[in-house]
Amino acid sequence: MRMFLLCAAVLLLAGAFAEAAADKGMAFSIRMHRESRPGDKFRLAVKASMQMVSEHRVGELVEKDNEAFDTDFSGRITVLEITKGGGKKKVAIVIENFLITEDKFRFVALPKGTRLIASLKNREVMIAEALEGRDDGKPMAAGIELDALRQVISLDNEGDVTDDDIFGSKKKQRVGDKWPVNKAKAIEDFRKDRIRIKAIGFKGETGLTGVVKVRGIECYSLKGSFDAKGFRPPIPQGFRVKASGLTARYSGSFPVDTKLPELETTVEVRMHFLANLRNIGMSMDRRVKKEIQVTPLD
């Protein structure tokens, strides 16, 4: 991620090129992954909703759990550490606005000015309340605030595939073109999170839907989806999966100037499964929707 005010002239040229490309049907190499640098700063605004229904059954005994909440977040992010591929590995967060709504009750999750540190441990986002002048702190206790932040903050593990590997296209594409998701790379990525998907049950594609301006910046607009049927979720060995499905819908605006981050992204994901082992059964249906806006800062 780069700061766009330092490359105004480049942006003007990129904008002119994008308009010409749209008018003349020219093609774009689709690059979604944007490399970060330590010290990069941006404002992140996210509106998210999560709904989950789960059930555990042992013989005649059944336990059900329903969880649902909405998150309204904005904050200033500073990149502290990156992966070799330019992914964000560790970031500092200064809260501007962090509201959670649960059961129609809306409350301030953390006050404005709260400073947090987000990093990865065993592929899970860890959040700590930062100590003054340091980039570490006391880990946040489990709870709805931590759950909400883990939906908001996205980090990268060393060696992970990028969005370019799965959804991008080295072949140049024109407005209206569509291309398939890279199955092998997607399946490899899910496997790291103990989600096993068979290629035969997986399909997906991305399309270039247009060239648009977002806050005065020329972008290509992408829209895509994928579906995985019959996948195995991260459940104990011995359980038999009777039914499962994983679907995602996504869209976003990506500046033609690849030094700039994606500016607007919407993601909807649903994961559901039913599994059993003799007289023990479990099921889950989880839905997440996120609307994300990124604004580069000086």
Tokens of residue 198, six digits: 């068979």
The model's confidence at residue 33, banded by pLDDT at 50, 70 and 90, is confident
pLDDT score recorded for residue 135: 65
CA distance 200 to 124: 29
Using alpha carbons, list the distances in angstroms from residue 112 to 74, 102, 118, 254.
10, 20, 17, 29
pLDDT score recorded for residue 137: 73
* pLDDT single digits (tens) 103-153: 999 999 999 999 999 999 888 999 998 866 666 678 888 999 999 999 999
pLDDT score recorded for residue 159: 84
pLDDT score recorded for residue 27: 80
Question: What residue segments make up the domains of the chain, in order of their start?
Answer: 1-33+162-298, 35-46+69-159
pLDDT reading at 14 higher than 50: no
CA distance 181 to 171: 13
Average the pLDDT over each of 5-9, 199-203, 270-274 and give the range with the smallest value.
5-9
* pLDDT single digits (tens) 158-194: 888 888 899 988 889 999 999 999 999 999 989 988 9
Which contacts qualify for 146-149: CB closer than 8 Å, 24 or more apart? 147/50, 147/69, 148/48, 148/69, 148/71, 148/73, 148/98, 148/100, 148/109, 149/73, 149/116, 149/118, 149/125
The model's confidence at residue 221, banded by pLDDT at 50, 70 and 90, is very high
CA distance 293 to 249: 17
Among 234, 156, 241, smallest CA distance to 195 is for 234
Contacts of 15 (CB under 8 A, 6+ apart): 213, 217, 218, 256
pLDDT score recorded for residue 20: 38
Mean predicted lDDT score pLDDT of the chain: 87
| CB atoms near residue 261 (< 10 Å) | 20
Average the pLDDT over each of 40-44, 94-98, 227-231 and give the range with the smallest value.
227-231
pLDDT score recorded for residue 209: 93
Q: Please state the φ and ψ torsions of residue 251, each to the nearest 5 degrees.
A: -150, 155
pLDDT score recorded for residue 16: 35
CA distance 212 to 216: 9
Among 245, 200, 250, 242, smallest CA distance to 225 is for 250
pLDDT score recorded for residue 85: 87
pLDDT reading at 4 higher than 80: no
CA distance 263 to 63: 42
Among 269, 275, 203, smallest CA distance to 236 is for 275
pLDDT score recorded for residue 260: 87
pLDDT reading at 281 higher than 60: yes
CA distance 251 to 130: 33
Q: Give first-to-last CA distance, the chain, whole Å.
A: 12
Mean per-residue pLDDT, 32-55: 94
Among 83, 65, 73, 85, smallest CA distance to 127 is for 73
CA distance 254 to 212: 9
Average the pLDDT over each of 10-14, 199-203, 257-261 and give the range with the smallest value.
10-14
pLDDT score recorded for residue 30: 85
